[in-house]
Amino acid sequence: MESKDSEVKAPIKSIALAACAFIAIVQALIVSLQGPFLRVPLGCAQSLGSPVMMTGADFPGWPLVALLVIMALQQVPSVRRFITRTNLAYLFVAMVCVDMVGGVLSSNDPVYLVGRSQIPSELAQNLPEFFSLPVEVSEVLIRGVAGNYALLPLGPILSAVMWRFVMFALFSGVMLSFANIIRREWISTEKIPFPYTLAYHSMLANVEGMVTKEWPTKKAFLVGIAAGFLLCLPIGATNLFPWFPDIYSWKSNTCGPGSHWIAPAGIPWHLGMNKHPTTYALFLIVPVHSLISILFYLLVLEVSLFISYATGYYTAMPDLGFCGRNWCAPTPYVSEPLFFSVVSAGATIGLFVSIIIQQRSYIAWTLRAAFGSVENKEEIERGEPAAYKTSWLSLVVFFALMIVFFMATGLSPWLSFVVPFTGVVTWTVMAAVWGRVGIAFEPCYDVTPTTIRLMAWPTEYNPPIDSMDKAMVPLLSREHVAHFASAGFGGAFYASLLSFKMADLSGIDNRSVLKIIIVSLFPALFIFLFVRAVVLPGLLPGTRIGFTASDFSGDVLWNFWNRPVEGPLSQGALHLLIGFVFMLVGRILYTRFMWMPDPLVAIVAWGWGVSLWGAWVPILVAWVVKTLVLKIGGSKMYESMIVPFASGLILGEVLEVLILTIIGLTLVPAQA
């Protein structure tokens, strides 16, 4: 690693790059092995990989674990000289890259891999064996081989691993190239905040400063750590120790990640109250205008709902339980007359178009810089991760290879184009939202199926499954393309943007960042797939690692053909158009009248993350607190007290989860 007297903007040295690659490999192995061997999970509200449990948060936690270790190492003089801001930024890039691909072959994909025996024959006949393994191979994975790897049928398993690796790697190449192109506009010009990077940078500065005489934010940071530890301890301890008092009523009337149910009789109220302390801390780092904009558009939804209820719609909502008021019809999301999910899907597509329109001059400039001549090209490109020509060519090449890959493995030419194009649309929009407010949503429920259906099947609804297109594409949409960023398609883009933001804050070289991304992300991607599909099934029964033979055919209907409207997409054309026009016109107006609520965040406000997961409460609290602080003490008070406190609180929760995880791995008796 670099020493303290290294030049900040100097390119990364080979030994530091090798260290980053090694750390990434070790992290990928630890993350892969830690979960299955944890005897008593801390519930879906706490994990080392996700300190902020909120739909669409995608808040990587393992870099924070590393910071806790580094805080201890600061006490060792021989190690301390290597703990520089530059080295901590390098570490952040490497570990974020690993975290952001750590969701592959998790969640629904293990069920897809081994569930062939449980699905209808028309679906099974049209799914290739590299997507869903043969029944006899699946049975071995589910049963496990108790350490006898000779019994593992490696041929079909490795085919499934390599198909996923090539698909994810190619799309990662697409989005990494796009991140290189868009970096200057989003990071240097627009200065999109990326709240997670701001939080980590605050932690980084405090960890580096803890051994200096001048540590101005010491009290706020340490108080934040203590608050995070104490406030979050009851959450994990309630799951780990049956005798621990349920202080937050986590085991009653609460969605797992922390939303308290509020479902009063007689009215269609459907908003929960989030109880997780780190969620409040996260929103303290989000810009005030984004917070009030979310609340404004949520108010639009609620006023529309209650007016509709008064005129005879949604009258069955009060008869449903809390979760049903958000998930089950009738709701303002999927039922007439409001169809907010359909409007939101149209708005999301409109946001993608508005991004292209509003940044057309910049995109055209990068093309001229790549293939023509522009003023100050050499000077500008020195600060970029790669030359614009290299980035544009790699974008085209990776996208073309993606099409060829899908065609070679069975998709039609048109769907081979539609799937990666939809991935670009999905994660461009998601990153634009997530980078501003710290959360987004799960795009597999709206924009992704909408875009695919719009381009491939605009007038069809739940047709017979008579091709690989109709069998595999809905499942790709549900999981690999769009379930969450680290499930595959979104991870590289998120990791790149966070890393370039860190480079901007820390003053490290963007080309060095790109090198770290390459040596960290792609090896980690393969390790996750190989360990989860080959190594772990050789050690444990498959059910311990998510390999369960279940009927996943419901994902084809419920999470593709019924999204965002239960019927042909053409039936929702009016509401799609309303959302599209609203976003397109709204973003144009917003660039001229910055005081108006930003329509970009409407797609968060109109998603069930704000209602079902109760995000509106911490958003409201954060808006009130930040407004008061800025009025009383200005930005100086906010930056010296609130940011270090909030980042310390999140780090304190990670410390608590780390301690409980160690206890869970070592002291708690194994479950039968």
For the chain, the domains span 14-666
- Nearest-CA neighbor of 480 among 103, 93, 50, 9? 103
Note whether 451 and 425 are within 8 A (CB): yes
Distances in Å between the Cα of 401 and the Cα atoms of 170, 171, 172, 408, 519 are 7, 9, 12, 10, 21
Say how many C-beta atoms besides its own lie within 10 A of residue 430's C-beta: 27
β-bridge pairing 259-260 and 273-274: antiparallel
pLDDT of residue 444: 96
Mean pLDDT of 323-351: 95
pLDDT of residue 37: 73
Read off the pTM. 0.95
Mean pLDDT of 640-650: 97
Mean pLDDT of 500-521: 97
pLDDT score of 647 more than 90: yes
Mean pLDDT of 432-450: 95
Mean pLDDT of 79-106: 94
Q: What are phi and psi of 440, to 5 degrees?
A: -145, -110
Mean pLDDT of 402-407: 99
pLDDT score of 8 more than 50: no
pLDDT grade for 124, boundaries at 50, 70 and 90: very high
Beta bridge partners of 260: 254, 273
Distance CA 564, CA 177 (A): 30
Q: What are phi and psi of 322, to 5 degrees?
A: -60, -50
**SS3 (DSSP) at 166:** helix
Note whether 55 and 444 are within 8 A (CB): no
Least confident interval from 280-289, 369-378, 393-402, 591-600 = 369-378
Q: Is the dihedral of CA 57, 63, 65, 67 positive or negative?
A: negative
Note whether 44 and 80 are within 8 A (CB): no
Side-chain half-sphere of 81: how many Cα atoms within 13 Å? 5
Distances in Å between the Cα of 324 and the Cα atoms of 27, 261, 321, 560, 612 are 39, 11, 5, 20, 9
Mean pLDDT of 464-472: 98
Least confident interval from 34-38, 172-176, 611-615 = 34-38
pLDDT score of 639 more than 60: yes
**What percent of the chain clears pLDDT 70, i.e. is strictly above it?**
97
pLDDT of residue 5: 36
Note whether 560 and 474 are within 8 A (CB): yes
β-bridge pairing 254-255 and 273-274: unpaired
pLDDT of residue 43: 63
Written in H, E and C, the secondary structure of 225-240 is HHHHHHHHHHHHHHHH
pLDDT score of 320 more than 60: yes
pLDDT score of 7 more than 60: no
- Nearest-CA neighbor of 27 among 85, 107, 90, 98? 98
Least confident interval from 352-356, 608-612, 630-634 = 608-612
Mean pLDDT of 535-551: 89
Distances in Å between the Cα of 599 and the Cα atoms of 333, 422, 626 are 18, 22, 21
Sheet holding 254-255, edge to edge: 254-255, 259-260, 273-274
Q: Is the dihedral of CA 75, 76, 79, 80 positive or negative?
A: positive
**Which amino acid, one-letter code, is at 215?**
W
pLDDT of residue 672: 41
Distance CA 425, CA 431 (A): 10
Token pair, residue 312, equals: 């005879």
What does the mean pLDDT of the chain come to? 94
Least confident interval from 340-344, 372-376, 653-657 = 372-376
pLDDT grade for 4, boundaries at 50, 70 and 90: very low
Which residue shows structure tokens 């509020």?
Answer: 262
